[in-house]
């Protein structure tokens, strides 16, 4: 493990209470590749509520304070939040199931929250040197790859997230040419989100394995990869 002074700064995981988010957090804490690792989410000390922009701004301000006090720079922002099913509803099998409350919620969690994270956290990323912003998206958000239909809201919210990531990557590169901003497809992972849909035959992997693989991708990506949707094996997927 590199001495603290040589390790690349602060890593922040948003959505650290989820199946994948918790595994990403644990892995980052265990491998010591960042001098400090911070967990944010709905139940963190500075709780983030995507419906309240002020909570996102306050969390970003707290991170800025930590950077100032510690002298560390924000070198990794990893967003692992997401919604597919729950109290707000279930993914649609047909257009007849389209429902305003479900659509609003799936877009709030998968698209609007991450958009405001970009607004409040990207200004904290350093202007020089390597930094990575990774947003866990999903292959089903790929329009080119959509052969099955269904899941209107989830697909559309992740497609919109991919567009936000692409757009922000362009602005971030202007600010810091060494930056990488990308959307990540984790594969099918054994979490509460996938549980009702993990059909036999689908390759379901434990969150620890998915986290290891995604962090391997994050370590390997280069500025030329910015603005892409990449899977856990480092393959670029079509938008």
Ligand X SMILES: NC(=O)c1ccc[n+]([C@@H]2O[C@H](COP(=O)([O-])OP(=O)(O)OC[C@H]3O[C@@H](n4cnc5c(N)ncnc54)[C@H](OP(=O)(O)O)[C@@H]3O)[C@@H](O)[C@H]2O)c1
Out of 18, 89, 91, 134, name the contact with ligand X by CB under 6 A. 18
Part of the chain binding ligand X (CB under 6 A), chosen from 65-73, 74-82, 145-153, 224-232: 74-82
Find the part of the chain contacting ligand X (CB under 6 A) among 16-24, 92-100, 116-124, 231-239.
16-24
Identify residues 140-199 at the interface with ligand X (CB under 6 A).
186, 188-189, 191-194
Spatial separation of the C-alpha atoms in residues 33 and 54, rounded to whole Å: 31
Which residues are bridge partners to 189 per DSSP?
205
Q: How many residues does the chain have?
A: 239
**Does residue 106 touch ligand X according to CB under 6 A?**
no
Signed CA dihedral, 75, 116, 97, 143: sign only: negative
Q: What's the min distance (Å) between Cβ of 136 and ligand X?
A: 4
Cβ count near 158 (within 10 Å): 27
List own/partner pairs for 99-105 with CB under 8 A and 24 or more apart.
102/153, 103/152, 103/153
Tokens of 31: 């491998």
Q: Is 17 in the site for ligand X (CB under 6 A)?
A: yes
Q: Contacting ligand X (CB under 6 A), which of 8, 9, 21, 91?
A: 21
Cβ-based nearer residue to ligand X, 20 or 217: 20
The nearest distance, CB 129 to ligand X, in angstroms, is 27
Of 9, 15, 91, 227, the residue at the interface with ligand X (CB under 6 A) is 15
Query: Distance of CA 193 to CAs 151, 160, 188, 198, Å?
Result: 13, 19, 10, 9
**Lookup: tokens for 165:** 């990531």
- 81 sits near ligand X (criterion: CB under 6 A): yes
- Residues lying near ligand X in the complex (CB under 6 A) are found at 15-21, 41-42, 50, 80-83, 109, 113, 136, 138, 186, 188-189, 191-194
């Amino acid at each position: 493990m590199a001495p603290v002074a040589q390790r690349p700064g602060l890593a922040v995981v948003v959505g650290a209470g989820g199946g994948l988010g918790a595994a990403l957090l644990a892995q980052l804490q265990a491998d010591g590749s960042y001098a400090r690792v911070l967990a944010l989410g709905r139940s963190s000390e500075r709780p983030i509520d995507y419906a309240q922009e002020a909570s996102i701004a306050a969390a970003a301000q707290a991170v800025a304070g930590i950077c100032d006090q510690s002298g560390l720079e924000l070198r990794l922002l990893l967003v692992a939040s997401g919604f597919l099913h729950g109290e707000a509803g279930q993914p649609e099998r047909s257009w007849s199931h389209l429902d305003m409350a479900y659509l609003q919620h799936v877009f709030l969690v998968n698209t609007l929250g991450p958009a405001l994270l970009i607004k409040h956290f990207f200004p904290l990323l350093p202007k020089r040197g390597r930094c990575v912003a990774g947003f866990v998206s999903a292959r089903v958000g790929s329009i080119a790859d959509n052969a099955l239909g269904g899941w209107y809201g989830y697909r559309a919210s992740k497609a919109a997230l991919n567009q936000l990531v692409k757009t922000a990557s362009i602005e971030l590169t202007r600010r810091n040419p060494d930056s990488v901003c990308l959307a990540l497809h984790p594969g099918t992972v054994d979490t509460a989100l996938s549980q009702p849909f993990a059909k036999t035959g689908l390759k379901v992997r434990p969150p620890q394995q998915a986290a290891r693989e995604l962090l391997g991708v994050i370590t390997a990506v280069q500025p030329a990869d910015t603005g892409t949707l990449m899977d856990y094996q480092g393959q670029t997927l079509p938008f």
